[in-house]
Structure 1
Amino acid sequence: MLQKAYTHLSSWSEKPYGEHILFWFALAESCVVPVPADPLLLALCTGAPQRSLRFALICGVGSVLGGLLGYAIGHYAFDTIGSAVVQFYDPELKTFSQVEGIYERWGFWGVLMAAVTPIPYKIFTLASGVFHFDFGQFVLASVIGRNARFLLVGGLMAYGGDRVQTWVQNSSERLLWVGLGVAVLGLVALKLL
């Protein structure tokens, strides 16, 4: 079942709407959606490896813009929208309140870590707005971290050639399970912060 889904997603790489879906999904993932954009990016890169860097950049731009939206939600609409998103991940808001300590101690590096690792980036985008984290540092950390993460995937697919593409196609079901595991680990890491 997962292999069929992955194959279907890969076919979107040749469709005009594939890039649009990737962009909007990456944007939503950075501020509200619990599923990371990486599996969709990987599927599109598998379907058209020659366009992998383009897909990675689209994903990065969407993700950074989603991060800016998350910052705005945290800053201007936390009580109405942001708190519902945070409570989905952290019902007691223990971890969310600890993010403020991360900002005080790590600042830019804390946001960069969240942008690159499986820790749910959306919690940091919302918290950045709530705790009035320096907007310039937030943007810089987001641009560097999110693009580094997605360009790594795109670069491997673009320059790894047929061997990487064949390996990804043969391992797609395992990769989807790993992606799910990474998402769960991100949630666990967030709880353990």
Structure 2
Amino acid sequence: MKLFTRLYDMTLGWSRHPRAPQYLGALSFAESSFFPVPPDVMLMPMTLAKPQRAMYYAALTTLMSVIGGMAGYAIGHFALEWVQPLIGEGGRYAHAYEKASGWFNDWGFWAVLIAGFSPIPYKVFTISAGALSMSFFPFVLASAVGRGGRFFLVAGLLAWGGEAMEGRIRRYVEWIGWSLVVLAVVAWWMIRKQ
């Protein structure tokens, strides 16, 4: 069964939709404050579908991600009790929240910058920054640099690879997809063991 190939083709189809940029912007905003799906799942196929628009897509993703990060900061600063069931003991993001809080205590600005590239969900960092009352301007600056670095790198590499990159991804998408599933299961198992 070619599950990931079908998903890849479906996502490429969505990326060519006339409203795809609005969807990308909304996803980028939501992922930084409350939604679990990273914007890369739309940024990548949109860049492959229209490589000449790669930098526009990266800029849009960065801008909306930073604005969404500000919303996450506000949630952490003003409404932490709303997300307490998710980040409190036994919550879905409890371990990630503890790790993010530790990073803030140790590195502050640099924790947010590095979080832009981290596999830990970015919303955990934005909410943690607000909850720990990190200075707002350095938070926004670190978010812009970290997230921008990630999204411009992804879009730039895919645009540079062009149609050949799309062909390579299509050829290996099943292997990549199932490898990521295995890695996610192993990571989940290791976290649960601790």
TM-score, normalised on structure 2?
0.83
Corresponding residue for residue 153 of structure 1? 154
For residues 61-100 of structure 1, what are the structure 2 equivalents within 5 Å? 61-80=63-82, 82-86=83-87, 87-90=91-94, 95-100=96-101
Give per-residue Cα distances to partners, 1:122-149, cap 9 Å, x unaligned: 1110011111001111101100000110
Counterpart Cα distance in 1 of 2:132 and 2:124:
12
Corresponding residue for residue 19 of structure 2? 17
The unaligned stretches of length 5 or more in structure 2 are none
Counterpart Cα distance in 1 of 2:191 and 2:34:
15
Alpha-carbon offset, residue 67 of structure 1: 0.7
Highest Rg: 1 or 2?
A: 2
Corresponding residue for residue 104 of structure 2? 103
Q: Is the 8 A contact 1:120 1:190 kept in 2?
A: no
Corresponding residue for residue 52 of structure 2? 50
Range with greater deviation from structure 2 (9-18 or 142-151): 9-18
The unaligned stretches of length 5 or more in structure 1 are none
Counterpart Cα distance in 1 of 2:75 and 2:128:
9
Range with greater deviation from structure 2 (137-146 or 100-109): 100-109
Counterpart Cα distance in 2 of 1:175 and 1:160:
17
Query: Relative to structure 1, is the Cα distance of residues 14 and 98 closer, same or farther in structure 2, using a 3 angstrom cutoff?
Result: closer
Aligned AA for 2:93? Y
Counterpart Cα distance in 2 of 1:57 and 1:187:
32
Range with greater deviation from structure 2 (99-108 or 117-126): 99-108
The number of aligned residues is 188
Range with greater deviation from structure 2 (176-185 or 55-64): 176-185
Q: Is the 8 A contact 1:75 1:130 kept in 2?
A: yes
Alpha-carbon offset, residue 33 of structure 1: 1.6
Aligned AA for 1:117? S
Identity of aligned residues (%): 35
TM-score, normalised on structure 1?
0.84
